[in-house]
Amino acid sequence: MCVCVCVCRTGTKPSWTARLLSDPALLCRKVREEAGELCETLEKSEGRERAASEAADLIYHAMVLLNLQVWFDCVLHTHTQLHGPTRIQACRSSCTQVTCTGYAGMFDRARRKHAV
């Protein structure tokens, strides 16, 4: 599977993704910042919508960081090796509070689209 992070330009201004990819220190600061903000949503009881928003920001920045080091398939493979193949599926099927299912199968669709 190839997880693609598009580096686009709008006019002469580089995209945020391009800026992050060109500045590892900024990228690492953003990953740390977003992780802290996600934790704060729990600590301050800010609710699911805020948590989802901060989680989305963290995942985006983490994916950009991973793009510089390792393919996402390697991360999923390592997760499976460490925690077993059904850990994520078991958590997903037992959770009754999640109302957003838009990401189900996201990586499968990406794998089919970008298969090498």
Task: Tell me what pLDDT residue 1 has.
Answer: 39
Residue 50 near residue 39 (C-beta atoms within 8 A): no
Question: Would the pLDDT of 77 be above 60?
Answer: yes
pLDDT band at 17 (very low <50, low <70, confident <90, very high): very high
Task: With 0.75 as the threshold, say if the pTM is over it.
Answer: no
Question: Would the pLDDT of 115 be above 60?
Answer: no
Q: Which residues of 44-77 are buried (b: 16+ CB within 10 A; e: fewer)?
A: eeeeeebbeebbebbebbbebbbbeeeebeeebe
Report all structural domains of the chain as residue ranges with CATH numbers, in order of start.
Answer: 9-114 (1.10.287)
